Amino acid sequence: MTDQGVERSWREAIAIYAHPRVVAMAFLGFSAGLPFLLVFSTLTAWLRDENVSRTAIGFFAWVGITYSIKVLWAPVIDRLAIPLLTRRLGKRRSWMLTGQAGIAFGLFAMSVTGPDNLLLLSAFALIVAFSSATQDISIDAWRIEAVIEEYQGAMSASYIFGYRVGLLAAGAGALYLAAWLDWTFAYQIMVMLMGVGMITVCLVAEPDHTLGLQSASTEQRVIDFLDRSSGEAKWLRDLKAWFIGAVICPFVDFFERNGRFALVVLLFIAVFRLSDIAMGIMANPFYLDMGYTKTEIASVAKVFGFLMSIAGSAVCGVLVVKWGILRPLLVGAIAVASTNLLFAALSMVGPHVSYLAVVISADNLSGGFAATAFVAYLSSLTNRAYTATQYALFSSLMTLPGKVISGFSGIVVDDYGYFAFFVFAATIGLPAVVLVLVLMRHDSAGKNRPV
């Protein structure tokens, strides 16, 4: 579940980035990142550019709920075959390609509809978001199943790199295209870029994701326990068995493998990102209130920050191969909490670009490092019999508490100022540090337990 016993050389650890599936992961990450901004900030820029009211633009935020509830249809993706397509491509690749086709269709429909018909535009945006979330579920499952556990750090780093490049293309790239030509052309170019993911899906191999004897035995036991009815039609019994296996068994499996300690694991998942999510929503207002210009923010916080984030991800990917998952996870937790103190110090000085660059470098380096370690850890928790469902659950849980707390961030800033806010953000990162130490102790105890 965590750290492997064999320690590799630095050369072997770095060479993991040449693995074909690690390289392919970057292209799939690009395909995952591309549609995200096209139904969020890029879309709102298009709407405002066409003089759509702020009230109407605000309603488009509801499209994003789709990403937060993807766990609801993850069991379908885990178990349901797509007629004809799954037989030719396999389960993961067929669902990835279906999601990508839905994204391409939705983006093209948005490009020809435009803000003249907001209701229809919102419907097509919803199709893009739903298809994108479906693609995310499938890509996450493929990433976990495609390689062994010690490669998950490199796979996470490669994914994050591709995802960030996709965000750049859909953000700055689309804005440049819209400025040079028009929004319709910009969105149609994005449709063409979805071909990157489609071609990758056709080239990569389908991973092994068999149920396994132990999982099959557990599943049958749960079905026998929950479904004791008799005299029902066969189709109804089959439907109930499918629901129990696809929806209930992934949760039963997780608690059966981890026992009571599963509650500690879930608590850790819920608190790990509290610090950076709470801080993130106030970042841009902080830069502006400090007196930095939009150009300085774009150059340092966006472009330079992007490079530092990628560097942090790459370093973490190597260290996961070299050390295992838990030690990089501890470094990431400490770094994310600590960098908030740098922002607190920055709030006490004037708007010096050099200071901003140092703080942004540290923040994005630690953020990329921590995100890669965390994704690798979540991947290690899944049973490959229920990869899509379990990972969708974990990824939903990791953002929900942070989103709730971040809603109060403005109140803290207004009442106590930025210095107190960033100290608070650092403080709420401490439980994650403590829980990583608990995980390490539990992992060590498990290794030393007599067989």
Over residues 303-324, the pLDDT tens digits come to 777 888 888 988 888 888 888 8
**Mean pLDDT, rounded, for 58-77:** 83
Average pLDDT over residues 100-120: 96
Residue 397 vs residues 273, 393, 404, 405: alpha-carbon distances, Å: 10, 6, 12, 14
Alpha-carbon distance 422 to 301, whole Å?
A: 17
pLDDT band of residue 219 (cuts 50, 70, 90) is: low
Q: Angle formed by the axes of helices 118-146 and 20-38, to 10°?
A: 160
Q: Which one of 83-87, 293-297, 414-418 scores highest in mean pLDDT?
A: 83-87
pLDDT, tens only, 145-196? 998 777 888 898 899 899 989 988 998 888 889 988 899 999 999 999 999 9
Annotate the chain with three-state secondary structure: CCCCCCCCCHHHHHHHHHCHHHHHHHHHHHHHHHHHHHCCHHHHHHHHHCCCCHHHHHHHHHHHHHHHCHHHCHHHHHHCCCCCHHHHHCHHHHHHHHHHHHHHHHHHHHHHHHHHCHHHHHHHHHHHHHHHHHHHHHHHHHHHHHCCHHHHHHHHHHHHHHHHHHHHHHHHHHHHHHHHCCHHHHHHHHHHHCHHHHHHHHHCCCCCCCCCHHHHHHHHHHHHHHCCCCCCCHHHHHHHHHHHHHHHHHHHHHHHHHCCHHHHHHHHHHHCCHHHHHHHCCHHHHHHHHCCCHHHHHHHHHHHHHHHHHHHHHHHHHHHHHHCCHHHHHHHHHHHHHHHHHHHHHCCCCCCHHHHHHHHHHHHHHHHHHHHHHHHHHHHHCCCCCHHHHHHHHHHHHHHHHHHHHCCHHHHHHHHHHHHHHHHHHHCCHHHHHHHHHHHHHHHHHHHCCC
Confidence band for 127, pLDDT divided at 50, 70 and 90:
very high
| CATH H-level, domain 260-451: superfamily | MFS general substrate transporter like domains (1.20.1250.20)
Judge if pTM exceeds 0.85. Answer: no
Lowest mean pLDDT among 26-40, 223-237, 404-418: 223-237
Average pLDDT over residues 427-438: 94
Q: Convert the pLDDT of each residue in 248-304 to its tens digit.
A: 888 888 888 888 999 999 999 999 988 887 777 677 678 878 888 767 776 776 677
Ordered by start, the domain boundaries in the chain are: 7-209, 214-254, 260-451
Question: What percent of the chain has a predicted confidence (pLDDT) above 70?
Answer: 87
Q: Do the two domains 7-209 and 260-451 of this chain adopt the same fold? A: yes
Tokens representing residue 361 in the block: 């470098």
Q: Residue 114 in contact with residue 121, Cβ under 8 Å?
A: yes
Most confident of 98-107, 158-167, 340-349: 98-107
- At residue 349, the pLDDT reads 86
User: What values do phi and psi take at 370, rounded to 5?
Assistant: -65, -40
More confident residue, 60 or 434: 434
Interatomic CA distance for residues 384 and 390, integer angstroms? 9
- The whole-number average pLDDT for the span 410-426 is 87
Mean of the per-residue pLDDT values for the chain?
Answer: 85
What average pLDDT does the segment 394-414 reach? 78
For the domain spanning 7-209, the CATH number is 1.20.1250.20
Task: Determine the pLDDT at residue 451.
Answer: 42
Q: What is the pLDDT of residue 24?
A: 96
Query: Cα dist. 329→97, 186, 292, 293, 371 in Å?
Result: 32, 39, 33, 35, 9
Q: What is the pLDDT of residue 27?
A: 97
Is the pLDDT at 3 greater than 70? The verdict is: no
Q: Is 245 or 116 the better-scoring residue by pLDDT? A: 116
pLDDT value of residue 225:
63
Q: Please compute, for residue 167, the number of CA atoms within 13 A of its CA located in the half-sphere on the CB side.
A: 12
Cβ-Cβ contacts under 8 Å for 186 (sequence gap 6 or more): 111, 174, 175, 177, 178
